[in-house]
Chain A
Amino acid sequence: MQSRLSGTAMTLAYERRTIAEDLSVAVPDRSFTVIIGPNACGKSTLLRALSRLLKPAAGAVLLDGEDIHRLPARGVARTLGLLPQSSVAPDGIGVAELVARGRYPHQGLLRQWSREDERVVTESMAATGVADLADRPVDELSGGQRQRVWIAMALAQQTPLLLLDEPTTYLDIAHQIEILDLCARLHEEQGRTLVAVLHDLNHAARYASHLIAMREGRVVAAGPPREVVTAELVEKVFGLPCRVIDDPETGTPLVVPAARRRATASAPTVAVAGG
């Protein structure tokens, strides 16, 4: 398996709180990798480490074989993009102007706005479906539109690798699917390597080409969704009894949580009486 981005024997810690020890992961090239796991399992921390926002206390993150913290910051920013969980749109900024900021790692003091910059920004807005909004102020947009604008900014960075930290949080179900469809398109049509942290297991199973399942700071399983998403593993990782069936739309694994009544089938009357 080819991997431009990997972490080896990482210890990840905030201050004195250690999140993970001896953690190793590899992101397969041209994959849509999704990291899943219960709350506080360290998945966002792992993404922060991979995106060089958090420096491992031990071990290293390797980008093209080199320690990411020894590489020049702008050079990394031309290879590896990140959509963080929280970004602030400056007051009154327009969509096109915000997207244009993604060009920063390609610009210089006397090279502030090349034709290439202009072309890439236009393409990024078209790819995310925000071209019509180009002149609108970002703070007037809906949550889903805003998220697409931020993704457009990350696209304008033109990085072969793009990391997304919970890109669907705070969006309603239609917008969640819209964003994930967009990610899938970027992955398939543009050949980018995507790494995302997702909360929803079924979204992960449907969209990912490679899954990394974490629990308590360790990788429990990694591989294609069909191999990773099994009833045993979901029970082991999330502590959730379930059945896994085929998604009638896509044929990918679909997790159906066990009903309370079925789980307590040995005492049906009590279960019904209890609600």
Chain B
Amino acid sequence: MITLRTPGGLSLRLRPRAIAVGVTCALLALALSVLAIGSGDYPMSPADVLRALTGRGTPAEEFIVTELRLPRVVTALCVGAALALAGAVFQSLVRNPLGSPDMLGFTQGAATGALVVVVVGGSSLALASSAVLGGLVTGALVYALSWRRGVHGYRLILVGIGTMAILTGVNGWLLTRAPLMDAARAVLWLTGSLDGRGWSNALPVLLALAVLVPLMLAGYGPAMRLVEMGDDTAAALGVRVERLRLVVLAAAVLLVSLAAAAAGPVNFVALTAPHLARRLTRAPGPNLLPSAAVGALLLVAADQLALRAFPGHQLPVGVVTGVLGGAYLVWLLATERRAGRL
């Protein structure tokens, strides 16, 4: 770790490896984004893409880039970062590598909200709002049900898994009630997809990230590291543990819900990104920013893989994250179990 100090008594403590991981992943994600914007039916070189992005391209290219391709890429970056952040927060607060929002029913809650709109009919704005509402209500419900003189990791996980099972059932029932066309659309949404995403999908997530990330980092960044040592230890050091958990979990649930509203419940990014980030940084703690960078990179990469892996057959991005993430989960369970951590 390195320390920066000013004569005025201010000091910052930085972890070069974590910064390197975060910056590298962020740069890779951006580079991949430029390539992604450049590819498609009207291919453009990276230089052309950058010219169009900075407003110096031809009107046609600028239209293709800023209106058609950029929103999808920005949505991917933001959704990936939001899911990864939420996953990092959950895993840290419940002190369990499996405590990610897609294992605890929050994304299913958002899906329920969206499906209700699919069944009764409504605009895409209504669908997104309903998804956010579904996620938040599920979050409040899980929190309330696991409350007993404070919320503890294991109870939250058990209640969350139960909630997920119930909501999966509800979602199935809602699908059977939907008209056939709507049901097909709903299933695509449930898989998680970035097809046809516009600025109206990207902006809410972007805005939430811009507001919530600085708040979480400044307000609770160091305190979250302390809570990993146990509630009593953190409280002894002056952390108001219950308030922290409530605020930070609420922020995480909001991020997950907005991400689900934008791209559907994309699986496994929230679970895998924080793990990868921790392995790369080798730093204890939730690793919020490196996780966000890894998540953004993962989702942009997965989307490109989904688009290009089978020429002529575009997959929804959720299929790719599901397959890769599932494999990672199996590997993780095996190694963690061998290391005696599960």
Using a CB–CB cutoff of 8 Å, the interface residues on chain A facing chain B are 14-15, 51-53, 73-78, 81-93, 97, 101-102, 104-105, 107, 109-115, 154, 157
Contacts and interface: CB of A to CB of B under 8 A. Distances in A.
Given A77-B236, A84-B232, A104 B222 contact: yes
Given A113-B3, A113-B12, A101 B230 contact: no
Given A76-B238, A91-B284, A93-B284, A113 B232 contact: no
Contacts of B233: 82, 84, 87-88
A104 B222 CA distance: 8
A47 to B, nearest CB: 11
A110 B10 contact: yes
B95 interface: yes
Contacts of A92: 282, 284
A14 B285 CA distance: 31
Given A92-B284, A113-B3, 12 more contacts: A73-B238, A74-B238, A75-B238, A77-B237, A82-B236, A83-B236, A88-B229, A91-B341, A92-B282, A104-B226, A104-B238, A111-B10
B11 to A, nearest CB: 5
A76 B239 CA distance: 10
Contacts of A86: 230, 232
B149 A14 contact: yes
Nearest to B232: A84
B235 interface: yes
8 contacts: A73-B238, A87-B233, A88-B230, A89-B229, A101-B226, A101-B229, A105-B237, A112-B13
Contacts of B238: 73-78, 104-105
Contacts of A52: 235
Interface string B191-235: 000000000000000000000000000100011011011101101
The 9 closest A-B pairs by CB, nearest first: A77-B238, A90-B284, A84-B232, A82-B236, A74-B238, A113-B13, A105-B238, A112-B13, A87-B233
Chain A interface, >50% SS class: loop
Contacts, number: 91
Interface string B172-204: 000000000000000000000000000000000
B239 A101 contact: no
Nearest to A90: B284
B229 A87 contact: yes
Contacts of A75: 238
B9 A114 contact: yes
Contacts of A74: 238
A2 B13 CA distance: 40
Interface string B266-285: 00000000000000001011
